[in-house]
Copies of this chain bind each other. A is one copy, B any other.
Amino acid sequence: MSNVKVLPVLEPEIEPCCPPLNERPLTAEEAERTAVMFKALGDPVRLRLFSSVASHEGGEACVCDISDVGVSQPTVSHHLKKLKEAGLLSSERRGTWVYYRVEPTVLAAMGALLTKAAST
């Protein structure tokens, strides 16, 4: 095991990044980062899955918990992965299943971008 190299994980940059949308025009780079998060919620099926996870008991859910959105389990998995890649969900494997949980800091940051821009 000693010769196994641990490479640094390059996380996509999805952290809360940007000023309220009415403070100044976003730079191209800020807009790229922020658009990824909005785009993740810009699909009706993903949005339903996201609200399923967010409203599930304990604030987390696995694919096995979600069956009422009318899409197949592989499709559910695909969309949950997209939401994770956009930083809106985190995941943890426990036994057979991967459990997903909402990332409150990212949600709060997205919310603030909009809410602050609405208040002037």
Q: Which residues of A pack against B, CB within 8 Å?
A: 21-28, 31-32, 34-36, 38-48, 50-52, 54-55, 59, 68-70, 102, 104-105, 107-108, 110-120
Task: Closest B residue to A41 by CB, please name it.
Answer: B38
Q: Contacts A107-B117, A115-B108, A115-B115: A35 and B44 contacting too (C-beta < 8 A)?
A: yes
**Chain A facing B: main interface SS:** helix
Contact A55 B25 (CB under 8 A): yes
Contact B55 A31 (CB under 8 A): no
Please measure, in the bound complex, the distance between the C-alpha atom of A105 and the C-alpha atom of B25, giving whole angstroms. 20
Which residues on B sit within 8 Å (CB–CB) of A46?
35
Contact A26 B47 (CB under 8 A): yes
Please measure, in the bound complex, the distance between the C-alpha atom of A22 and the C-alpha atom of B88, giving whole angstroms. 13
4 A-B pairs with least C-beta separation: A39-B42, A111-B115, A111-B114, A22-B54
Contact B112 A107 (CB under 8 A): no
A55: which of B24, B43, B104, B110 is its contact (CB, 8 Å)? B24
Which residues on B sit within 8 Å (CB–CB) of A59?
22, 120
Please measure, in the bound complex, the distance between the C-alpha atom of A99 and the C-alpha atom of B105, giving whole angstroms. 35
